[in-house]
Amino acid sequence: TQPTQSTDYDAIVIGAGPVGLYQLHLLRERGLSVRTLEAGSGVGGAWYWNRYPGARLDSESYTYQYFFNQELLDEWSWSEEFVTQPELERYYNFVADKLDLRPSIDFDTRVVSTVFDESTHRWTLATEDGRAYTAKYVVAATGILSVPYTPAIEGLDSFQGRMLHTAVWPHEPQSFDGRRVAVIGTGSTGIQIIQALGPVVGELTVFQRSANWATPLNNSPISAERMAELRAAYPDIRDRTQSTSQCFNIESLTEGALDVSEEERRAHFEKLWNMPGLVFLTHNFADVMINEEANDTVVAYLTEKIKQRVNDPEVARKLIPDHRFGQKRPPLEVGYYEVFNQDNVELVNLGEEAILRVTATGIQTTERHLEFDDIILATGFDALAGSFNKLGIVGSGGVALEDWWSDGPRTYLGLTVHHFPNLFMVGPQGVGGNFPASAKGPVDWITQTIADAESDGVARIEATHSAEQEWVDMINATLQITVLKDAQSWITGHNIPGKVKTNFTAYLMPMFMYKDKLASVRANGYEGFDRQASADAPS
């Protein structure tokens, strides 16, 4: 039988999340034939998969949207400063419909192999169910937090109750009323689900490997008046989120915590405590992430807050982290600490009482057997390199991405990798933070780079080994000046046994430097790249 549609494209985008949808739209606008391959049955990426109770944005809703299209801005209204997952999923569906993206997306299509052909300079992609696609360009928009991590706990499969992972949550409604529930993991996700389930479950047992510095979300509904004000301010908000260091709507102070008096410091922390969002990270003193003594002042303030909110001093002790503020991404909370004041909630500190195994009816710890109806894994992700390593990417000379990255990610600009021509990614060692805003520059740049390659008759464009090495060296060097250098988080790979590698994963320099670099690479004729015309390209 004849295939009903061509499976050969100019470009394939992998993923229909916030980054992939924008990339699809831009490449299509440039007149390229583009197909998006999406593993899920719908759009939204993280906001399609992470459907657990309480799943919510930690960025202000109106900073997390697309600003490139006036109709999108005019026709969409946000209901809360920080909306929940269903509203975000609706937003991405609204965008997909408005921009007519759906006809260009193949859903339920998981890419398992992505192989470069030296003779044609094209990529062949194979899907889990045996379909094949070819394209000159591939953009992997598979996300830095998208491969769910399930720890290898003995007996996990033997549990006869309901076992759920927050990152692959079922579409059918799940009731927890009156049930005995275990939650393993207290990162941003664990904290959101714990505070959502606290009021409804029969009994809740929280298994905590590391406590976290959670600060108040300070959410509120958005009234019609507030929405009108926000709309009027959209041009400013757009510009700010494109210029602050982590693409949030607010910037750090210029003075250090140690430059001001104790009273002034405390007054600023009190202000942050009552402000909405991730402000302890984004609007704190300038030295908090680079000076341990400055960081200690935040730790002291937040320690006091936890002690004030948790009734039992012993429980409060367990909830006080032993890492520096910001070494793990600080979660935002709404009544999280008060959950532990409920009689039907217990906190198990895994450092003092470890999980030995999961049984048919519950969890056996070093101290006792606990019976559960439900076990919820809020154990996070194989972050950063994880989703790219799963695409089965084999580049020029038969080099596998996973092998090339055996010492951790190696990229040029967080967007391209030596040995992998015509392949782009919004991946590790690139900018992060408020993701749709931080990914805008990279996606615009990828689009222009592909458009220029097309108009210049380029058959293959590939980062040079030396440009990549310089980028990796810069990434590794900048880590050393921040408190992240001895962090134990998904950003360093410490969340997964055996994952820590030599190369660091994130770009920590200011956003403006990244933007300048992208601009100068282009202005200097794609500095750091080999661009080969069809006739010159090796075959």
Distance from C-alpha of 410 to C-alpha of 423, rounded to nearest angstrom: 14
Angle ∠(286,287,291) on CA atoms, nearest 5: 170
> Toward ligand NA7, which CB reaches closer, 249 or 327?
327
Q: Are 198 and 191 in contact (CB under 8 A)?
A: no
State yes or no: residue 432 binds ligand NA7 (CB under 6 A).
no
State yes or no: residue 155 binds ligand NA7 (CB under 6 A).
no
Concatenated DSSP letters of 365-414: ESS-EEE-SEEEE---B--TTHHHHTT-EE-GGG-BHHHHTBTB---BTT
Structure tokens at 369: 């057997």
Distance from C-alpha of 360 to C-alpha of 160, rounded to nearest angstrom: 5
State yes or no: residue 15 binds ligand NA7 (CB under 6 A).
no
* Number of amino acids touching ligand NA7 (CB under 6 A): 21
Judged by CB under 6 A, the residue of 187, 326, 414, 493 near ligand NA7 is 187
Which one of 168-176, 178-186, 240-248, 499-507 is the stretch in contact with ligand NA7 (CB under 6 A)?
178-186
Residue type, position 138, single letter: V
State yes or no: residue 284 binds ligand NA7 (CB under 6 A).
no
Concatenated DSSP letters of 287-304: TTTT-HHHHHHHHHHHHH
Q: Are 217 and 279 in contact (CB under 8 A)?
A: no
What's the closest the beta carbon of residue 166 comes to ligand NA7, in angstroms? 6
> Toward ligand NA7, which CB reaches closer, 98 or 357?
357
Distance from C-alpha of 395 to C-alpha of 421, rounded to nearest angstrom: 7
Judged by CB under 6 A, the residue of 23, 189, 282, 434 near ligand NA7 is 189
Judged by CB under 6 A, the residue of 61, 188, 422, 429 near ligand NA7 is 188
State yes or no: residue 209 binds ligand NA7 (CB under 6 A).
yes
Q: Identify residues 464-523 at the interface with ligand NA7 (CB under 6 A).
A: 490, 495
What's the closest the beta carbon of residue 52 comes to ligand NA7, in angstroms? 10
Concatenated DSSP letters of 91-144: HHHHHHHHTT-GGGEE-S--EEEEEEETTTTEEEEEETTS-EEEEEEEEE---S
> Toward ligand NA7, which CB reaches closer, 24 or 214?
214
Distance from C-alpha of 417 to C-alpha of 530, rounded to nearest angstrom: 12
Residue type, position 57, single letter: L
What's the closest the beta carbon of residue 236 comes to ligand NA7, in angstroms? 26
Q: Give the 3-state secondary structure of 500-538.
A: CCCCCCCCCCCHHHHHHHHHHHHHCCCCCEEEEECCCCC
State yes or no: residue 238 binds ligand NA7 (CB under 6 A).
no
> Toward ligand NA7, which CB reaches closer, 153 or 393?
153
Judged by CB under 6 A, the residue of 25, 318, 329, 410 near ligand NA7 is 329
Contacts of 1 by beta carbon, 8 Å cutoff, 6+ apart:
none
> Toward ligand NA7, which CB reaches closer, 58 or 203?
58
What's the closest the beta carbon of residue 381 comes to ligand NA7, in angstroms? 6
**CA distances, 44 to each of 84, 246, 264, 436, 526 (Å):** 13, 21, 42, 12, 32
What's the closest the beta carbon of residue 476 comes to ligand NA7, in angstroms? 22
**CA distances, 456 to each of 65, 135, 313, 531 (Å):** 33, 18, 68, 9
Which one of 97-105, 203-211, 220-228, 506-514 is the stretch in contact with ligand NA7 (CB under 6 A)?
203-211
Mask 348-387, x = binds ligand NA7 (CB under 6 A)? --x---------------------------xxxx------
> Toward ligand NA7, which CB reaches closer, 61 or 186?
186
β-partners of residue 106 are 37
What's the closest the beta carbon of residue 89 comes to ligand NA7, in angstroms? 16
State yes or no: residue 109 binds ligand NA7 (CB under 6 A).
no
Distance from C-alpha of 10 to C-alpha of 140, rounded to nearest angstrom: 14
HSE toward the beta carbon, residue 364, CA cutoff 13 A? 11
Judged by CB under 6 A, the residue of 88, 95, 125, 145 near ligand NA7 is 145
> Toward ligand NA7, which CB reaches closer, 23 or 365?
365
Q: Are 245 and 433 in contact (CB under 8 A)?
A: yes
> Toward ligand NA7, which CB reaches closer, 67 or 207?
207
What's the closest the beta carbon of residue 241 comes to ligand NA7, in angstroms? 17
**CA distances, 360 to each of 160, 162, 229 (Å):** 5, 11, 55
Using CA atoms in the order 68, 74, 75, 77, what is the torsion angle rounded to 10 degrees? 100
Contacts of 84 by beta carbon, 8 Å cutoff, 6+ apart:
54, 55, 56, 57
Which one of 22-30, 187-195, 418-426, 454-462 is the stretch in contact with ligand NA7 (CB under 6 A)?
187-195
Distance from C-alpha of 465 to C-alpha of 399, rounded to nearest angstrom: 13
Structure tokens at 9: 């494209």
State yes or no: residue 151 binds ligand NA7 (CB under 6 A).
yes
Question: Which residue is nearest to ligand NA7, using beta carbons?
Answer: 187
> Toward ligand NA7, which CB reaches closer, 44 or 421?
44
What's the closest the beta carbon of residue 310 comes to ligand NA7, in angstroms? 18
Judged by CB under 6 A, the residue of 65, 186, 205, 349 near ligand NA7 is 186
What's the closest the beta carbon of residue 477 comes to ligand NA7, in angstroms? 24
State yes or no: residue 277 binds ligand NA7 (CB under 6 A).
no
Which one of 20-28, 206-214, 357-365, 436-444 is the stretch in contact with ligand NA7 (CB under 6 A)?
206-214
State yes or no: residue 210 binds ligand NA7 (CB under 6 A).
yes
Distance from C-alpha of 208 to C-alpha of 348, rounded to nearest angstrom: 6
What's the closest the beta carbon of residue 184 comes to ligand NA7, in angstroms? 5
State yes or no: residue 185 binds ligand NA7 (CB under 6 A).
yes
Which spans of this chain sit near ligand NA7 (rule: CB under 6 A)? 145, 151, 184-190, 207, 209-210, 328-329, 350, 378-381, 490, 495
